[in-house]
């Protein structure tokens, strides 16, 4: 089955840029979606189809995808961005959804 | 507004079954797939399966094949997820989520899960 690999944690100071990676075999050929989850809350979609943002999501959130790595970039990080972030793809070879293990973003 | 409202918390004994409901409002229920995702305490998100409310077609993660059934009642815009033969490892929060999608000659293309239910806690304990 298809595997997505994320770093367990990323730390960044307020105002700086956070980059969270999601690795997978030829992930650049798939559409990657990113979710933000704060403690005790349901996940929220922050980027879909590699780099599109749902309405209401700040422009500070952006995504890219190429080769074996997709990246969620959060610019001008704020304290409120502290959360777990998950990448997700649809694996057409098995007709199944797949999540990465999640990355905890800490704002120092 | 667009929302998914799930049924309340459940406590079940090992070997029992649980059925969680997910009521949609604010959009056309049959126009979007429903996915189910679960999360054990302190763990990551785990995809369980999908259902097309229009056709009733379903697809399940291999891990849950034979134990999970996803159904719907279009007259009340409600999706259901039933998990059987429960064990302690099934203790988790279960979420339903709406998934926009399209089909073409190449296959099925779901977009991200853009609306989520509030989650239903299922506790399996003797």
Q: Over the stretch B33-59, which tens digit does the pLDDT of each residue have?
A: 999 999 999 999 999 999 999 999 999
Q: Which pLDDT band holds residue B102 (cuts at 50, 70, 90)?
A: confident
Q: Which pLDDT band holds residue B106 (cuts at 50, 70, 90)?
A: confident
Q: How far is CA A102 from CA A6, A58, A85, A91, in A?
A: 6, 21, 5, 18
- Do residues A84 and A37 make contact, with C-beta atoms less than 8 angstroms apart? yes
A42-77 pLDDT tens trace:
999 999 999 999 999 999 999 999 999 999 999 999
Q: Whose CA is closest to B97, among B50, B65, B58, B62?
A: B50
Decide: helix, strand or coil at residue B60.
strand
- Strands of the sheet with A69-74, listed across from one edge: A18-23, A69-74, A61-66
Average pLDDT (B106-117) is: 91
Token pair, residue B100, equals: 């926009």
Which of B42, B48, B113, B119 best probes binding to A when mutated, by most A CB atoms within 10 angstroms?
B113
The reply to whether residue B110 touches residue A97, judged by beta carbons under 8 angstroms, is yes
B32 CA: distance to closest CA in chain A (Å) = 16
Q: Whose CA is closest to B49, among B95, B109, B105?
A: B95
> For A99, which of B45, B107, B111 is closest by C-beta distance?
B45
Task: Please report the pLDDT score of residue B105 as a whole number.
Answer: 82
Token pair, residue A79, equals: 């304290």
CB-count burial class (<10 Å; 0-12, 13-18, 19+) for B3? middle
Whether the per-residue pLDDT at A41 is higher than 90: the answer is: yes
B47 CA: distance to closest CA in chain A (Å) = 6
Task: Please report the pLDDT score of residue B108 as a whole number.
Answer: 82
Other CB atoms closer than 10 Å to residue B66's CB: what's the count? 9
Average pLDDT (B99-108) is: 85
Average pLDDT (A25-35) is: 97
The reply to whether residue B62 touches residue A1, judged by beta carbons under 8 angstroms, is yes
Other CB atoms closer than 10 Å to residue A11's CB: what's the count? 12
């Amino acid at each position: 089955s298809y595997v997505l690999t994320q770093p367990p944690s990323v730390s960044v100071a307020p105002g700086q840029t956070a980059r969270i990676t999601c690795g997978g075999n030829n992930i650049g050929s798939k559409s990657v979606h990113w979710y933000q989850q704060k403690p005790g809350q349901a996940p929220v979609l922050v980027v879909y189809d590699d780099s599109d943002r749902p309405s209401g999501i700040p422009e500070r959130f952006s995504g890219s995808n190429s080769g074996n790595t997709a990246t969620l970039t959060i610019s001008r990080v704020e304290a409120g961005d502290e959360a777990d972030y998950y990448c997700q793809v649809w694996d057409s070879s098995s007709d199944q959804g797949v999540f990465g293990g999640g990355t905890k973003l800490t704002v120092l | 507004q667009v929302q998914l409202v799930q049924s309340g918390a459940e406590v079940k004994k090992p070997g029992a079954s649980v059925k969680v409901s997910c009521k949609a409002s604010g959009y056309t229920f049959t126009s979007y797939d429903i996915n189910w995702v679960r999360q054990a305490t302190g763990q990551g998100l785990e995809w369980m399966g999908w259902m097309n409310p229009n056709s009733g077609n379903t697809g399940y993660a291999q891990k849950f094949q034979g134990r999970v059934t996803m159904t719907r009642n279009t007259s009340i815009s409600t999706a259901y997820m039933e998990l059987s033969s429960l064990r302690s490892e099934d203790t988790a929060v279960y979420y339903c989520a709406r998934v926009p999608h399209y089909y073409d000659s190449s296959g099925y293309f779901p977009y991200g899960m853009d609306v989520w239910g509030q989650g239903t806690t299922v506790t399996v304990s003797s």
